Structure 1
Amino acid sequence: MRRSRTSWLSGTCGSTRHRGASSTPATCSRRRCSESEGDNVVRRLVVNADDLGLTVGVNDGIFDAHDHGILTSASLFAGAPATLDAIRRARGRPSLGVGVHLALVDGTPTLPPRRVPTLVADDGRFRRSWKPFIVACLRGRVSLAEVELELTAQVDRLRSAGVRLTHLDAHKHVHAYPPVFAIVARLAGRFGIPVVRVPYERWSPIGDGSARGTRRLQALLNAAMRPWAQRDYRIAASHDLRTPHFAGRIHTGILSVDALAGVVRALQPGVTELMVHPGYADDELERTGTRLVESRQQELDLLCSLEARALLVGERVDLVRHDLTHVIKRSFRHVS
């Protein structure tokens, strides 16, 4: 069962029982963002949900987080079980930015497996995780030509379905590997997509004494990929692409009010993307094999909480989409 929640935008209860229903925030103002506002340099935050299309329950959570919370953007799988459901429902939410969650691991290709043999195992599915994929790349066992064919097909599928794409990123961040990132950058330029994620956090909590367990491991992985990130930034610049500051990798699966506060207070002038994974925990999600199950419900509750809203109000942060054509929920600054 989906739980009803009170929308802080409208004061009414929202429920995913009515999955066909849509909601556009009444306080979304449509204008170009400016670099400054008065004497203060604006800090902008894109709150982006990965995994749109994974399951109907994940779709429900993402749309709830947008309709009733602070979520502004989502990354959509081209060929996941609930992709068509996500496309249909996203059409009624023009204030939600949608990009492609490119997949080269943990799923099935868009193209027939015979056309991308170095990307799939004998069962026709991608490698299960990012580790064997990257190892295969480093050993020369992955055809970059096949990578480009498959990723092009994924972008084409969503464009053909009428999705206006605002950004590109990748499942499990496999595009951070510079030869793959170069392909993604070319695709972005070819299709007029302005933003590509570089999944590297410039600020890490590993030195503040609070990083423990999963978060410490994620912080170490983040630090290890700095050389790749530096190359990725150069590649993106050569294609005139925007690469917002990034946050959320270190707190994947463990995002809390305190963690969100730390991210927001550390925001630099300009645009930062916060990656999140909201959703409803159900049997369908369990069957996907994802490690992020109960944490999705917890993140959904956080994104729809009064605490999250109050934090953004207090820090005077603008919520935006990746294309920067919407400044969302600006008027809540003036709500006590």
Structure 2
Amino acid sequence: MIKKLIMNADDFGMTQGNSIGILMAHAQGILTSTTCMMNMPYAEFALKEAKKFPKLGVGIHFVLTVGRPLVEGAKSYTDKDGNFIRPKDYPDKQPHADPEELYVEWKAQMEKYIEVAGHKPTHIDSHHHVHLLPWHVEVAKRLAKEYDLPMRQREQVLDTYEYARCDDRMYGDDANYDFVTKAYSVDDEILEFMCHPAYVDQRLYDMTSYCLPRMKELELILSPELKQFVVDHNIELINFSDIKKMAE
């Protein structure tokens, strides 16, 4: 059984509805962490509202595949209109950014987070896990070390902080008590469990095919049964600010 759990909601700031759902999942459920998309129009709303919940860890959700970049002019990941290219439009369904262009864009997203929030994020991850693609991971590691932050990992690729393995399998029909509790019943010291709870508003409905299942995830995170499971198994709820830095 895991000893410590980071329950992290992706996509904070994508829409007003999904951001409110994430805050509800924290205030009334077992959610401990989220990550904000700084190129989205509700990013500032989300970060402002998060200040009302000091125990909620808020990281940065680096973006490369939806919306517009913060820095104009990059050629390796934008279409003719200057928007990020969606994964479905790449031949192999995966973005391939020039490392230096990517560094500039993700650094701009990081600096905007700091400007709006008034502090660094708790950690780094990314939309569609693009920071873990083999040709992008060195950029993510560079920024993690530059800003002295932990980051989401499936397998350990960054050694500056304690390793928290990410379980990112909960989608749609997998948002149920049995699936989640089985995922928690592993021997990891620390587990990050990724989720996407939300209230669905029109913008979210228009933006993503993964829409209504987010409400199912929210219901699960709020459920008394899952809360009781955490209590019964002495699982400590933490966020990435509790992750210890490794001795140099």
TM-score for both structures, normalised by structure 2: 0.91
Counterpart check, 1:150 vs 2:105: yes
- Partners of 1:298 and 1:245 in 2: how far apart? 24
Q: 1:157 to 1:295 in 2, by over 3 A?
A: same
Which string of whole-angstrom CA distances, capped at 9 and with x for unpartnered residues, describes residues 1-55 of structure 1? Answer: xxxxxxxxxxxxxxxxxxxxxxxxxxxxxxxxxxxxxxxx971000000000000
Would the alpha carbon gap of residues 42 and 296 (structure 1) be closer, same or farther in structure 2, given more than 3 Å must change?
closer
Equivalent residue in structure 2 for 1:281, among 200, 204, 207: 200
Do structure 1's residue 196 and structure 2's residue 151 form an aligned pair?
A: yes
User: Structure 1 counterpart of 2:163, which letter?
Assistant: T
Other structure's SS at 2:122 match: strand
Q: Indicate the SS of the match to 2:172.
A: coil
Map of 2:33 onto structure 1: 73
Equivalent of residue 222 in structure 2, options 300, 304, 317: 304
Alignment of 1:1-336 (within 5 A): 43-112=3-72, 114=73, 116-129=74-87, 132=90, 135=94, 137=96, 142-161=97-116, 162-193=118-149, 195-198=150-153, 200=154, 229=155, 233-234=156-157, 236-237=158-159, 240-247=160-167, 249-254=168-173, 255-266=175-186, 268-288=187-207, 290-324=208-242
How many residue pairs end up in the alignment? Answer: 241
Q: Secondary structure, in 3 states, of the residue corresponding to 1:251?
A: coil
Structure 1 pair 45/130, CA: closer, same or farther in 2 (3 Å)? farther
Deviation of 1:242 after TM superposition, in Å, equals 3.6
Compute the displacement of 1:136 (Å).
Answer: 5.5
Instruction: Identify which of structures 1 and 2 has the higher relative contact order when contacts are C-alpha pairs closer than 8 Å and 6+ apart.
Output: 2
> How far does residue 87 in structure 1 lie from its aligned partner after superposition?
1.2
Q: Distance in 2 between matches of 1:186 and 1:196?
A: 11
Structure 1: which 5+ runs fail to align? 1-40, 201-228, 326-336
In the TM superposition, residue 119 of structure 1 has moved relative to its aligned partner by 1.6
Alpha-carbon distance, 1:131 to partner: 7.0
2:246 equivalent in structure 1: none
Contact 1:134 1:177 in 2 (8 A): no
Deviation at 1:271, TM superposition (A): 1.0
Cα distance, 1:110 vs structure 2: 1.0
Residues 61 and 97 of structure 1, relative CA distance in 2, 3 Å threshold: same
CA contact (8 A) 2:87 2:94 kept: no
Quote the Cα distance in structure 2 between the aligned partners of 1:270 and 1:135. Answer: 32
RMSD: 2.0
Pair 315,44 (structure 1): closer, same or farther in 2 beyond 3 Å: same
Identity between Structure 1 and Structure 2 (%): 28
| CA gap 1:189/1:92 in 2 versus in 1, 3 angstroms | same
Distance in structure 1 (CA, Å) of the matches to 2:88 and 2:140: 17
Hey, what's the Cα distance between the residues in 2 that align with 1:44 and 1:153? 32
Q: Tell me if structure 1 keeps the 8 A contact 2:166–2:192.
A: yes
**CA deviation after TM superposition for structure 1 residue 179, in Å:** 2.8
Under a length normalisation based on structure 1, what TM-score does the superposition of the two structures give?
0.68
- State the one-letter code of the partner of 2:146: R
Q: Which runs of 5 or more structure 2 residues have no equivalent in the other structure? A: 244-248
Structure 1 pair 64–136 and aligned structure 2 pair: CA distance change class (3 A): closer
